[in-house]
A and B are shown apart, each in its own frame.
Chain A
Amino acid sequence: MMQGSSSRNLDEMVENFSLFSDWEERYRYLIDLGRTLPEMDNTLKTDENLVQGCTSRVWMVAETRDGKFHFTADSDAHIVRGLIALLAVAYQDKPVAELTGIDVEGAFKKIGLDQNLSPNRRNGFFAMVERIKALAEN
């Protein structure tokens, strides 16, 4: 479902972002990343799969397949879709045992998108990351 993203790794992403000189280029890249994210099946966009947020909506379904973490997620906002695509690079199809070791905060900080990992931005994305972390710890 999110093929392509898992083959790239988070460090490469950080490096890609570092090539941009201004926020506009960074955002454009992020928006383009969001466009590569496959649309989630509408039947999965249920209230049950909705992650709490108040400025935009995020849906997520996560599962473990053969010891690997797999999730499908979508948002009605372009930039949030881009953030989800970045998250896919970090977490998609990674062994469950390795999830807690993934430094998403560090990567987002280097990219300059760490604001989105704070609960202050109520766009559902933070809640989604929290949910993945909770799943990883169990």
Chain B
Amino acid sequence: MAAQSPVKIKTGIEKFRADFPVLKTRMNGQKLAYLDTAASAQKPQAVIDAMNAVYEGGYANIHRGLYRMSTDLTEKFENVRARVAKFIGATEKEIVFTRNATEGVNLVAMSWGHRNLRPGDEVILTEMEHHANIVPWQILRDHIGIVIKTVPFDSNGVLDLEAFEKLLSTKTKLVGLVHISNALGTINPVKQIISMVRGYNKDIRILVDGSQGIVHGVVNMRDLDADFYVFTGHKLYGPTGIGILYGKFDVLNAMPPYQGGGDMIARVSFEKTTYKDAPYRFEAGTPAIAEVIGLGAAIDYVSAIGMDNIATHEQDLLGHATEQLKQIKDLTIHGTAPEKAGILSFTMKGVHPSDIGMVLDQCGVAVRAGHHCCMPLMAKLGLDSTVRASLGLYTNKDDIIQLVEGLHKVQKLFA
């Protein structure tokens, strides 16, 4: 593969593509060009092996067993918490295992929100949020009567920071914003925004949706200073069903439980139940054990390559792919922010994104067509949907060539 590919990958990470078994398969009889990593990443062999090893080599429930297999697995499980913490520059007690990023936002909305928000309190979100960072706040609005305000973005997909600052008021209790837009690729200046919010009022809580942010670069919680940062394992080359909620310990530990059950309690009686400290308070019931182990393997894997190297590789390819797509007649790229990650959203005149997606499918090219769970963003752009090609650490120039050839086929078919 690398031999045919004339693209100069500075980081030399092209060789890691071979670690992903799925990428050797074919789709509709064609070589697979997987360009849907923003929806879910493929898994390296190391992750698959780590999960198999749990089931084949010593599976038991964790946290309460006195026998060797259970205590060993408990240790491995908790060790992943430590590795996640290290990966994002946090401490272990600030890492809550969730099902996914969506559950992280819901946990904060239901637990922190119900405890701290009163009618008329304001939550500021951006217009480029994924539904996962909109709907939980709307549910809260219906319950409590909070007010949701939104930050606009311009035609390039860049947030209007002046408008953002003007929205801050004495009523603002929380700011929720996406680190990297899943629909446009915009990398928001989260650090700058957080210091702006802190400068206005340090008591405003800040939640960052890091679903894409964690995948496309180095993220450090101490440096970022957000109160909450959520992400999911499956976009980070790990398994589905496991996500992370990072929360500053003092903030987390002042929050009531989100779900009740086993493993989150200190003591239970019918008269009174007391809870464990964070993060365990938020982890009711048997967790996704094998998935946590798989996430640990994924973090080890990407850490070994280096998130900075992955980011550089994706930036090189993004630049190349953008140039290639610009050559295609009647194609418009949506999201042209100067700071942009490996996500390319586009439409073609006279052809519906669904048509493009279906033709590309026949060409072995996996992309997404739709509103990308960002209907308010799409409405702002005056669109129903776009085609989205997204890059990952394994994406190479051949994938981009296959995409471009597929798009030429689209033009031919619909001419």
Interface residue ranges, A against B (CB under 8 Å): 23-24, 27-28, 31, 54-57, 75-80, 122-123
Contacts and interface: CB of A to CB of B under 8 A. Distances in A.
B345 to A, nearest CB: 14
Contact of A78 (B28, B351, B362, B370): B351
B354 A80 contact: yes
B362 A23 contact: yes
Interface in B351-404: 351-355, 357-359, 362, 369-371, 384-385
A34 to B, nearest CB: 10
Nearest to A124: B354
B414 interface: yes
Interface of B: 28, 351-355, 357-359, 362, 369-371, 384-385, 409, 413-414
B354 A27 contact: no
Given A23-B28, A27-B362, A76-B384, A55 B354 contact: yes
A55 B370 contact: yes
Contact of A55 (B28, B351, B353): B353
A75 B357 CA distance: 15
Contacts of A54: 370-371
8 shortest A-B CB distances, which residue pairs?
Answer: A56-B354, A77-B352, A77-B354, A55-B354, A55-B370, A23-B362, A78-B355, A55-B369
15 contacts: A23-B28, A27-B358, A27-B359, A31-B413, A54-B371, A55-B369, A55-B385, A56-B355, A56-B385, A57-B384, A76-B384, A77-B352, A77-B353, A77-B354, A79-B359
Contacts of A55: 353-354, 357, 369-370, 385
A56 B370 CA distance: 7
A87 B409 CA distance: 26
Max chain A Cβ within 10 angstroms of own Cβ: one of B353, B355, B409: B355
A54 B359 CA distance: 17
A24 B58 CA distance: 50
A66 B359 CA distance: 40
B370 A79 contact: no
A103 B409 CA distance: 32
A28 B315 CA distance: 36
Contacts of B352: 56, 75-78, 80
Given A27-B413, A76-B352, 9 more contacts: A24-B362, A27-B362, A31-B413, A55-B357, A55-B385, A56-B352, A78-B414, A80-B354, A123-B354
Contacts of B355: 56, 77-80
A24 B384 contact: no
Contact of B409 (A24, A56, A123): A24
A92 B364 CA distance: 34
Contact of A79 (B28, B354, B384, B409): B354
A31 B351 CA distance: 11
